[in-house]
Every structure is written in structure tokens, then in C-alpha cells.
Chains A and B, each alone.
Chain A
Amino acid sequence: MMWLSGGFIFRRGTSVYHRLDPRAKLLVSVLMFATTLLVRSLYELAGVLAFMIAVSAVAMVLKRVARTMLFTAGFSVVIFVLNFVFTRNLETSLLYAARFVAIVVSTSLFFITTSPDELEQVMKTFRLPRDVVFAFVTAVRFIPVMFLDTIQIMDAQKSRGLELEKGNVLKRVRNMIPILIPLVVNSVVRSGELAEAMESRAYGAVPKPTSLVVYRTRTTDKLVAVAAVVLFVLTAYSFYFVFPAQIL
């Protein structure tokens, strides 16, 4: 589980992609996300996924993206089965299942290469309310903590004879109760404690607190942003005007 979770958690890196302005990385991810919604055939989607894999290679996070894909594969199977049951169309069902993987990879690429601090700065750029930014960034920051908590809770319950992998589906779901309750309770308690700790350190005392980081967009960031927009426009154009017959 911890191995799979690595596909969603930020780790410091030294690649060119890691060093990009977080706003440029966000733009690339948003455009990749949008492109996955525009595709209408498995061929087009394969092209988009190949592009994402190329970006992952540049960012030197190929293995972690592979974990993301593996993690989402389970959900994709459910999407495929549900679509196939209701549409009886193999290609559409496959497309929706693969599209889900592509959507997750596009967002995952942003989160695994962008630190919570950078994320905070990006959100501030969009002038979002400070409380919203803080809540969102804190939630992201606590994802690894939650995973660690889950592992420790599972260890504690397994040491009391709980066998998570035993029994039928219903029993396995019931076996998750001793994991989920402590996890939820811990999270609620932690959020309360964090709120108190923040308030005791003057959170919200002034409307505009001091910001120590000022992002300046470099030429590389501008080039990447422009290239991403041009590529998106060209791809969208080719989807609708060059190969219009592939509409499903």
C-alpha cells in the first residue's frame, strides 16, 4: 500500500520539470487533463498517454507514475465493467476506463513534482481566500501522514489477530472497520489540535501576512507554458478537423 501511495506523494527532485515555476507545471497538467477529455478514440488517448509518459520521463518520475497507473487500474476495471454492462460497446468502455487512468496521471504529475509550499504559492496567485488555500494545502501535506497512520493502525490491528485478507468480500469490508475508525478519529483530533496550534501562533491575526517567497517567471517557464498552449491547440484542432471521422 505504501509502495502504491508513493505515486501520489511529492518528493524533492532535481529534474528540469521539478525546477519549473509551479504555475507552468499546473498549466501543463490542466492542458493534459483537458486533452484527455477531448479525445474520442483509443488511438488518440494512446497518443496523449504517450505524451504524459514522455513528460514523466523528463521529470524522472516514470516509476512513480507507473505506480499511479497501477493504483488507478483497479478503479478503471470497475469503470470498464459498468460501462460495458450498460453500453455493450467494448471500445467506449475501454476508452472510459483508460481515460480515467490518463486523468489521474495528468493530475498526479503535478502533485508529485510540486511541493505543498509551491502549491500554496500557486493558489495565492489566483487570489483564493487564505483559509481555503491553507485548508487545501494542509490536506495535501497530510496525505503522507495519513498513509503512515494507516500502516501503523493496520500493524496494530493485525497484531491483535485481525486478518484483513481473509474471508469473503463482505467480511473483508467489515474487517476495515477497525482500520477506518481510528484513522477518522485521529484525523479529526489532529485537525482540532492543528487549529488550536495555528491560532496560538497568531493565524489570522493580520489580513495579509508576510510572504517570504516571490515567484519570478523565467524564460524557460514562459517557453514551456507557450509550448503547452500551442500543443494543446494543435492537438484539439487535429482531433476535430483533421481526423473528424473518429468521433464516437
Chain B
Amino acid sequence: MIEFRDVSYVHQNGVKALDGVSLRIGSAEIVAIVGENGAGKTTLVKHVTGLLKPATGDVVVDGQDTRKTSTAALSRKVGVAFQNPDHQLFSESVEEEMSFALKNFGFAPELVEQRVRWGLELFGLEEYRKSSPLVLSGGEKKRLTLACILAWDPEVVILDEPTVGQDSIQKEKLAGTIRMLTSSGKTVVLVSHDIEFLWPMQPRVVVMKGGKILGDGPAPELMQDKRILEAARVAQPQLVEFGECLRERPEVPFADPLEARRWVEKSSR
């Protein structure tokens, strides 16, 4: 579905943002891209919709070279929800905001109405349908941007820091939506620092540092590789860390981490 072939990219200030990145993402995969700030995560995803063109190498999306395809054409297949919702909201009402992309892609009016209703219901925004998107709270704005992307049903959904400003219930709902998307055959790429949010979904994890890929593999495997995680300054999920603590103490007779945690706390008092 998405293929990076030895891709390099240099910013105008001379900083090498991507350095020989090769990556293949298939259909219906959940891929989490993690790494410290400036690792090249956002630069990587901007290449998927052709917003950035590789200096060397190729990026191919669904058989199309991003150098030869317009961002609008690629966006029909790949929806990107960027980090800051304030960078995209401009319409007079939430429903107009949601229908913006649908109209750009030439959807029929009935379908626009149907998709807007679906998106608003999915993200609990029906009551704000006629409100200005600019008066929504930070979390609601974030949900609206996600709804805007999902509205046109792209094959690949890229979410850049989707959990910023979301409370725990909204995070759970978001995780549910992501599972729903993958079960319906969509590819989901998550760029996030929120390891605790990513861990339960057990995604394929791509660890980046300095524009290079340090590690690529299933979460249970990669999240135990302290060498890679420390090099990329990525924190281990608390449960993995706790599991390691348990392994160091064979006298702990509990399999359930939560029960064991209580026992450890009690015994160390």
C-alpha cells in the first residue's frame, strides 16, 4: 500500500530530516511511528500525501509515485489529521467544516449529508453541528479534525498525535475507532508520543531517530528492546516495565500485573 524506497529529505535549513528510510506498510495494518521530537516522524508522513517530495529515493502509495501525483489525488486515498486542529478549522459551522473535503472531492450532496451525520455521531459532535468550529474546546476540535478525515473514507488514515488534549474516555473511543477502521480493511498510521495509548492496540512499531529507522517490529517484541528505546528516547509502556519487574522477583506469585502490583507495594512498605 505504502512504500518508502531509500528515501532521504533535507529541510531548507540544511537539516537532514530523513536519511535513507525504507519502509513498507501493507493494507489493514496499524503502524505506530514513535521517536523523540525532531526524529522525522511528521516529515515521513508528509511524504505519503506528497506534501513533501523526497530528495532521493521514491515514495509509492497504492502503486502511484508521489512525485508524479498531486496531493489532492493522493489525499483521496490517504487522510492525514495533523497535530494542531487550529491549523485547519475555518468554516462557519461544524457541518460545513466536515463537508469541506467532501465537496473538494466532488461527493454527491446526499452522500455529503450522510457522511457528515455519520462523522458527527461517531465523535459525539452532533450537538455542535451548527456551531462555529472555532468555539469548540481543544479536545472537541481535535475530534472534529479526525471526523473530517474519516468522512471521505480514505484507504489509509494517518493520525499525527491524535490523543493530545483528549480525556481518557475519548482516548478509549479513539482506540475503538482505530480498531474498527483496521477491521474494515483500512491502514492506520499513528504518530504519537503516547506509548500508553498505543500499547493496548499492539501495533507494528517503527522507531525513528535522526531521520533513520532504528527499529521496526511488533509492539510486544520492540517494546522490550531497551537498547533501541533508550537510543530513540522512547519510554517503555508501564505494563512492559512492570512485567520486567515481576520477572526479576520470582517469589511474586501473581500472574495478574495489577494484583501483583498491589502485592509489591504492600511488601515493600
Contact = CB atoms under 8 A, between A and B. Distances in A.
Interface string A186-205: 10010000000000000000
B82 interface: yes
B103 to A, nearest CB: 8
Given A160-B100, A160-B104, A153 B76 contact: no
Contacts of A77: none
B222 to A, nearest CB: 28
Nearest to A155: B51
A157 B88 contact: yes
Nearest to B52: A155
Given A149-B87, A178-B90, A161 B82 contact: no
A152 B71 contact: no
B79 interface: yes
Contacts of B79: 159
A2 interface: yes
B86 interface: yes
Interface string B10-24: 001000000000000
- Counting chain B residues whose Cβ lies within 8 A of the other chain, the interface size class is 20 to 34
Interface in B112-145: 134
A85 interface: no
Nearest to A175: B104
Interface residues of A, number: 22
A161 B98 CA distance: 12
A6 to B, nearest CB: 7
B49 interface: yes
A181 B72 contact: no
Nearest to A182: B90
Contacts of B80: 156, 159
A154 to B, nearest CB: 9
A182 B89 contact: yes
Nearest to A177: B90
Interface string B47-74: 0010100000000000000000011100
A183 to B, nearest CB: 9
B87 A161 contact: no
A67 B149 CA distance: 36
A155 B46 contact: yes
B72 to A, nearest CB: 5
Given A158-B72, A159-B51, A161-B75, A178 B100 contact: yes
Contact of B86 (A3, A162, A177, A185): A185
Nearest to A158: B71
A158 B51 contact: yes
A182 B49 CA distance: 21
Contacts of A117: none
Given A3-B12, A152-B82, A159 B87 contact: no
Contact of B75 (A158, A177, A189): A158
B74 to A, nearest CB: 9
B84 A152 contact: yes
A152 B87 contact: yes
Nearest to A181: B90
Nearest to B83: A152
B105 interface: yes
B86 A182 contact: yes
Contacts of A2: 12
B208 interface: no
A160 to B, nearest CB: 4
A186 B85 CA distance: 11
Contacts of B101: 160-161
B72 A163 contact: yes
A178 B97 CA distance: 10
A186 B72 CA distance: 25
B38 to A, nearest CB: 15
Contacts of B86: 182, 185-186, 189
Contacts of B39: none
A162 B134 CA distance: 20
20 contacts: A6-B12, A149-B87, A153-B87, A155-B87, A156-B80, A156-B82, A156-B88, A158-B75, A159-B49, A159-B51, A159-B75, A159-B79, A160-B75, A161-B75, A161-B76, A161-B105, A162-B100, A163-B70, A178-B88, A185-B89
Given A2-B12, A155-B82, 4 more contacts: A158-B51, A159-B49, A178-B88, A182-B88
